[in-house]
Every structure is written in C-alpha cells, then in structure tokens.
C-alpha cells in the first residue's frame, strides 16, 4: 500500500494517528515518502501542518517572508536569547540591520583561518583517540572541534566546553525541534539560555578590556549608526546567538556525512577517501553526502494569509508549513539525476544553509568547518564504520554518540 493510501485510511479513522504517521515517515523514511508526494501530492495538507515537497514550491515558501513567516521560532528563541533576534523577525528593520552586522563579523575571507582551526582541532581529537582505535564522532570529534571554534573564532568559549555544549543542545532542541511545544523542553532551554546570556554579558565586559580577534570582539567594536538602536541588549542577544547557530547544525552534519560516506557500498567511499588523502578537491563529497543524509529534513514556517503557490496549490492562513528542503534536493525537476552521487553539482541545488531572506548568516563558518573535519577523518588509515554501531540519538533530537573505528589499536 502506498504512503498516501495508508495516510488516507488513518485520516478517516483517527486524524491524530495520521499526523503521527506522517511525522514518522518524515523522520525515518523521508526519501520514498517524499518521492511519492512529489509525484502524487506535492503539497499535502494534514490537519496539523502542510508539507511542501517540490523544489520550486520550497523556494517560493522560503522566499515569501511576509506570507510564510518565522513566527514559530519566536517564542522559544526570544525566551532563550532574552529578546527579538533576526530569526524571529520578518521584513523588519531589526532583521535587515542585524543580519548585516552579523555578516560583517563572520566574513567570507575568514574561511582559510576557520578551516585551519577546524583541521588542527580535528587532528588533535583524532590523535587523542588513536590509541583506543576508535573515536566517538559526536562528542570526541565534532563537538570537540566545534566548542573550540566557538571559543577561538566566535569568542564564546563557555565556562567550559561541556557546559556550552549542553546549553546549545538544550536551547536548539526547543527552538528547532520542539513543535509539539513540550513545556519541559522549553523550561530546560530557558534555563540554558539564561546561563548563556549571563556568560556572554561577562564576556562582553572582559573583551571591552582585552579585545580578541573573534566575532564577539568584532561585534563589540562595531560602531553602527545610533538610529539602529544596537544597544547593550542587542549586543548580548547577537553574541549569544553566535554559538547557537553553529553547534547543532554543524555537529549533526559532520556525523551524518561521515556515516553516509563510510557506509556507501559503491565506489564513492573509496573515491572520497582517496580525495581526502591526496589533497584533491574534497568538499563536493561532503555536500553531496549531506544531500543524501540531510541533518534536517525541513524548515518550518507559518502561513499568515491564504496563498496560492505558483504551481497552483492553495495554502490556508494559520497553517504551519513544512518546506521540505531534503525533498527539494531530490527533485528531478531541479536536480539532474538526483539519485546519482555527483560532487560537481552547483551549490544552489543543495539547500543545506537555507534559502531566501533567512538563509544562513554563518554559512562561511559552516562551509569551512564541515568538510574539513570530515576530510581529516577520512585521511586516517583504517577509518571505518564499526559493525552494529549507528548514530545514537539517545531519545533526543540531536546525535549523542557515534563510535567509528580508527583501525587496530
């Protein structure tokens, strides 16, 4: 029976279970489920949310910020950060101005420096693990590297790496993975956010005395026109936002790319390893692997008023809308031979950093860190998946552990 047949049957009997089934398929069976939707029902309106699955429709949803707004991020994110933030605002002066300020302190010309840091810390983590013959790609590698990038480059080290890591995990759980609005998740995030803000306030005082070459110090030293109202609160909110953008997105991406590349049974695995070891262009392997194993299947928005997509489907006001970026990346209307692994695809077919007015302002950091960490792993002799081990989410929304082999100890 097709997914849609199963869905329709459940819907007739118990709409709540039909919605749960859709949520399950998005998480566990996204490729065949979205393939069927793109073909038979590209816009699926469930009683709880509407799924948009074709590339062109996804792009349209993410482009129309006054119709499909970021309203659903508002409550959790403003509670964590202590005030409005660019990702809780649409088409406002604050969104426009503070995007600009953040982009100015995370410039593209920092890519070589960030890449060097990522490579150095990845090698450090791998060297520590070599005697054991295995490494936890989540805690021992990805988060190890990312916490150090948060300190050295973003200027927000946390009181210690483990505490910053948990603040990030708790906050982002509430912001991007808590649409059911579990109050316990929200309460944990609020506590984490409050501790993060207090930490960032202390850092601001410290960096005023002794500036560093990091993004927070740069934010402090900016002199925006007074009319922007970039006061102490705005500085603190934007400083606290820096690590939150990076850690969960990059950690999960790194882990899923490693899992995908090492798990492939065709020639791609060996080709990727050969490219990593020879110094040949490598990044296309990482970005293409992320298209097959996306860290996030969709970006959610809220439909503020009835809107007919250019493709014809009507989306009703008041509906949460899921722009299924993972599905868009497999849409043959936009991506040539999407089932093929091709390292030379143009960037625009992969929506890893979002699209439109809310696309990622930290993209250059991600572009530098993610492929470089994976490359350092693949360079190691004997690197392989461990039999029976998979990415362990430990019942949460983000990976907790993923042990991989570094060869015999």
Q: What residues make contact with ligand HEM under the rule CB under 6 A?
A: 86-87, 99, 106, 241-242, 245-246, 249-250, 253, 299, 352-354, 357-362, 365-366
Q: Which helix (H) or strand (E) holds 258?
A: helix 232-263
CA distance 319 to 306: 9
Smaller CB separation from ligand HEM, 21 or 105: 105
Question: Quick one: which H or E segment has residue 303?
Answer: strand 299-303
Distances (CA, A) of 82 to 85, 181, 228, 308: 9, 19, 18, 36
CB-nearer residue toward ligand HEM: 370 or 378: 370
Cα dihedral: 300, 353, 271, 30 (round 10) = 0
Q: Least Å distance between CB 49 and ligand HEM? A: 15
Identify which of residues 217 and 405 has a Cβ nearer to ligand HEM in the complex. Answer: 217
| Least distance from ligand HEM to the Cβ atom of residue 85, Å | 7
Identity of the residue, 8 or 359, whose beta carbon is nearer to ligand HEM in the bound complex: 359
**In this complex, which beta carbon is closest to ligand HEM, that of residue 7 or of residue 300?**
300
Give whichever of 129 and 164 is closer to ligand HEM, judged by the CB atom: 164
Q: Could you tell me the smallest distance in angstroms from the CB atom of residue 246 to ligand HEM?
A: 4
Q: How far is the CB of 321 from ligand HEM (least distance, A)?
A: 11
Residue 403, strand partner residues: 136
By C-beta, is 277 or 284 nearer to ligand HEM? Answer: 284
User: Shortest gap between Cβ of 347 and ligand HEM (angstroms)?
Assistant: 13
C-alpha angle 148-190-180 in degrees, rounded to nearest 5? 105
CA angle 255, 70, 196 (to 5 degrees): 60
Burial letters 282-298, b for 16+ CB under 10 A, else e: bbbbbbbbbbbbbbbbb
Min separation Cβ 337 and ligand HEM, Å: 24
- Fill in the DSSP letter of residue 72: H
Q: Give residue number: closest CB to ligand HEM.
A: 362
CA–CA–CA angle 147, 109, 378 (5° rounding)? 50
DSSP-assigned letters across all residues of 94-153: HHHHHHHHHHHHS-GGGHHHHHHHHHHHHHHHHHHHGGGTEEEIIIIIIHHHHHHHIIII
Closest CA to 234 of 81, 80, 106: 81
Least distance to ligand HEM, CB of residue 332, Å: 22
Q: How far is the CB of 167 from ligand HEM (least distance, A)?
A: 15
Please say which residue, 17 or 181, places its beta carbon nearer to ligand HEM: 181
């Amino acid at each position: 029976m097709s997914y849609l047949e199963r869905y329709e049957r459940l819907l007739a009997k118990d709409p709540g279970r039909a919605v749960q089934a859709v949520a399950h398929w998005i998480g566990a069976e996204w490729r065949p489920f979205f393939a069927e939707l793109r073909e038979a029902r590209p816009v699926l309106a469930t009683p709880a949310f509407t799924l948009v699955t074709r590339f062109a429709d996804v792009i349209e949803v993410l482009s129309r910020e006054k119709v499909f707004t970021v309203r659903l991020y508002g409550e959790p994110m403003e509670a964590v950060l202590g005030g409005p933030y660019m990702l809780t605002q649409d088409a406002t002066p604050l969104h426009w101005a503070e995007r600009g300020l953040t982009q100015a302190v995370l410039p593209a010309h920092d890519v070589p420096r960030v890449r060097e840091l990522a490579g150095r810390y990845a090698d450090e983590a791998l060297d520590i693990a070599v005697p054991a013959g295995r490494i936890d790609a989540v805690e021992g590698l990805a988060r190890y590297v990312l916490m150090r990038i948060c300190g050295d480059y973003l200027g927000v080290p946390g009181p210690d790496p483990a505490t910053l890591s948990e603040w990030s995990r708790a906050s982002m759980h509430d912001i991007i993975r808590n649409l059911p609005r579990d109050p316990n998740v929200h309460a944990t995030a609020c506590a984490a956010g409050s501790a993060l803000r207090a930490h960032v306030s202390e850092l601001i005082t410290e960096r005023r005395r002794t500036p560093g070459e990091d993004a927070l110090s740069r934010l402090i030293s900016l002199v925006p026109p007074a009319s922007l109202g970039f006061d102490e609160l705005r500085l603190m909110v934007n400083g606290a936002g820096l690590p939150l953008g990076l850690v969960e997105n990059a950690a999960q991406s790194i882990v899923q790319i490693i899992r995908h590349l090492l798990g492939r049974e065709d020639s791609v695995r060996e080709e990727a390893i050969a490219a990593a070891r020879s110094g040949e262009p490598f990044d296309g392997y990482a970005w293409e692997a992320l298209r097959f194993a996306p860290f996030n299947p969709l970006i959610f928005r809220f439909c503020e008023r009835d809107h007919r997509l250019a493709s014809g489907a009507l989306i009703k006001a008041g509906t949460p809308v899921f722009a299924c970026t993972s599905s868009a990346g497999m849409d043959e209307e936009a991506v040539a031979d999407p089932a093929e692994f091709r390292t030379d695809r143009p960037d625009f077919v992969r929506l890893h950093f979002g699209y439109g007015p809310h696309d990622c302002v930290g993209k250059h950091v991600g572009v530098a860190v993610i492929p470089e960490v994976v490359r350092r792993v693949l360079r190691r002799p004997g690197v392989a998946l461990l039999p029976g081990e998979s990415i362990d989410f430990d019942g949460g929304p983000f990976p907790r552990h993923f042990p991989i082999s570094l060869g015999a100890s």
